[in-house]
């Protein structure tokens, strides 16, 4: 059974650009959560999608957005990139909301220059 797949693994962007990251959950999993991980702030929750609907949202500006497709794949978009957006972006999938165990993908390392 394939794990959570995130693409791309590494990305370098310039300030002001926008970026789209992709996450394919484990087959049969319908809940996808996104996190930003930095050394200073640790893992911070961005949002969670279930059945194509955003169910939870963290405290990030509106430049961060996401969506989920009917096949449960999810994308997150960051517009008008800032240097401080440089981080490891992780997505985690669960079979459904309420299930405790979440499985993480390998992450996308975003560097903004």
Partner 1 sequence: QKEVEQNSGPLSVPEGAIASLNCTYSDRGSQSFFWYRQYSGKSPELIMFIYSNGDKEDGRFTAQLNKASQYVSLLIRDSQPSDSATYLCAVRRAGNNRKLIWGLGTSLAVNP
Question: Nearer to partner 1 by C-beta: 10 or 70?
Answer: 10
Question: Nearer to partner 1 by C-beta: 72 or 108?
Answer: 108
Question: Nearer to partner 1 by C-beta: 48 or 85?
Answer: 48
Q: How far is CA 65 from CA 1, 7, 13, 39, 74, in A?
A: 29, 17, 17, 22, 11
- Of residues 37-96, those binding partner 1 (CB under 8 A): 41-45, 48, 56, 58, 90
Instruction: Tell me which residue of 5, 7, 30 sits closest to 105, measured CA to CA.
Output: 5
Residue linked to tokens 């949202």: 57
- Nearest-approach distance from CB 64 to partner 1, in angstroms: 14
Give strand pairing partners of 111: 12
Q: What CA–CA distance (Å, rounded) separates 15 from 12?
A: 10
- Nearest-approach distance from CB 23 to partner 1, in angstroms: 12
| Binding residues for partner 1, total number by CB under 8 A | 19
85 φ/ψ angles, rounded to the nearest 5 degrees: -80, -5
Stretch that binds partner 1, among 21-29, 67-75, 77-85, 102-110 (CB under 8 A): 102-110
Contacting residues toward partner 1, per CB under 8 A? 33, 35, 41-45, 48, 56, 58, 90, 100-107
């Amino acid at each position: 059974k394939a794990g959570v797949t995130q693409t791309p693994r590494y990305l370098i962007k310039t300030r002001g650009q926008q970026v789209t990251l992709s996450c394919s959950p484990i087959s049969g999993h319908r809940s996808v959560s996104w996190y930003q991980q930095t050394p200073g702030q640790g893992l911070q929750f961005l949002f969670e999608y279930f059945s194509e609907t955003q169910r939870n949202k963290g405290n990030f500006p509106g430049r961060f957005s996401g969506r989920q497709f009917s096949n449960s794949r999810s994308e997150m978009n960051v517009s008008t990139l800032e240097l401080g957006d440089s981080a490891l972006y992780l997505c985690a999938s669960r079979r459904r909301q309420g299930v405790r165990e979440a499985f993480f993908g390998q992450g996308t390392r975003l560097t903004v220059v």
